Amino acid sequence: MRRPLIGLTAYAEQVQYGRNDLMAGMLPMTYVKAVHATGGRAVLITPDDPGTDVLEALDGIVFCGGGDIDPANWGAPPHPATEVDKVRDRSELMLMGAALDAGLPMLGVCRGMQMMAVSTGGSLHQHLPDLVGHERHRAAPGTDPLAANASDYGRHDVVIEDETLAHRLFGRSLTVNSFHHQAVADPGAFLPVGWCPDDRVIEIVEHPGQPFALGVQWHPERTNDLRPFEALVEAAVRGRAVAA
């Protein structure tokens, strides 16, 4: 059987590789490998293009990690630490609106979860250290905060509400990695269902009115725990069966 096709929202970014320094459509391979390891086929959706017709070809979509979302989207002035990517914002807001309208199975990772809140009328905390008084949600600059051998920075527990999609997937709690300095303040049309127990930062959101719409603040693609991707691919297979 053909694998479900999963779109991954990607960067258009100035990158350096080898002797090259150029604008590339790109995404860390960890996302691609997570989709392939759980039975999907990944394609990268670059942000340059404002149309949403590509969704018609997809069985599911992952809104991936990246830079900060422009606070103008929820009417706030930018914090000094906020670094936005307006082109990607515009593209992903359109894609997410259309994907929600279509009931396309979706997973939001880090920025992607924040996009779920913002695109449905919610808002973000722009700089968590100001709010919670510590940096434990983000590793030291210049390190690879998500590497297996990274310091204890950016690892913490998540506790999960009973009788939710997240609870069925993860149980009552799990330990996650963490690399973000912003967080969901108001989840919009999504429900907050998982929190960091130390500071009550929202770590998981879901949308009960959608076939499958789950957002996680951590980076499951950088771990061996690919349950969010497994669940997305399963939902994509189910969605295709319904459509056919």
Partner 1 sequence: MRPIIGITSYVLPATWGVWVDLESALVPHDYVEAIRLAGGRAVLLPPDDLDTDVLDRLDGLVLAGGPDVQPDRYGQEPHPATVTHPERDAAELALLHAALDRDLPLLGVCRGMQLLTVAAGGSLHQHLPDVLGHEKHRPGPGIYGSQSARFAPGSRIAALMGDDPTINCFHHQGVADPGALTVTGWAPDGLPEAVEDPDRSFVLGVQWHPETGRDRRLFGALVAAATKESTGTCADR
Kindly list the residues in this chain that would bind partner 1 in the complex (CB under 8 A). Answer: 2-3, 5, 7, 10-20, 22-30, 32, 36, 41-46, 48-49, 51, 53-54, 56-58, 67, 141-142, 144
From 64, 110, 203, 207, the catalytic residue: 110
Nearer to partner 1, 42 or 160 (CB): 42
> Tokens 């149980």 appear where?
171
Whether 196 sits among the annotated catalytic residues: the reply is no
Nearer to partner 1, 15 or 72 (CB): 15
Task: Give min distance, CB of 42 to partner 1, in A.
Answer: 6
Whether 56 sits among the annotated catalytic residues: the reply is no
Specify whether the backbone of 236 is left (phi greater than 0), alpha (psi in -120 to 50) or beta: alpha
Task: Give min distance, CB of 4 to partner 1, in A.
Answer: 10
Task: Give min distance, CB of 186 to partner 1, in A.
Answer: 27
**CA 121 to CA 109: how far, in whole Å?**
18
Residue 215's closest CA among 73, 122, 112? 112
Task: Give min distance, CB of 140 to partner 1, in A.
Answer: 10
**Cβ–Cβ contacts within 10 Å for residue 83, how many?**
11
Contact present, 67 and 84 (Cβ < 8 Å) = yes
Nearer to partner 1, 170 or 179 (CB): 179
Whether 219 sits among the annotated catalytic residues: the reply is yes
Contact present, 203 and 217 (Cβ < 8 Å) = yes
> Tokens 């969010």 appear where?
228
Q: Please identify every residue annotated as catalytic.
A: 110, 219, 221
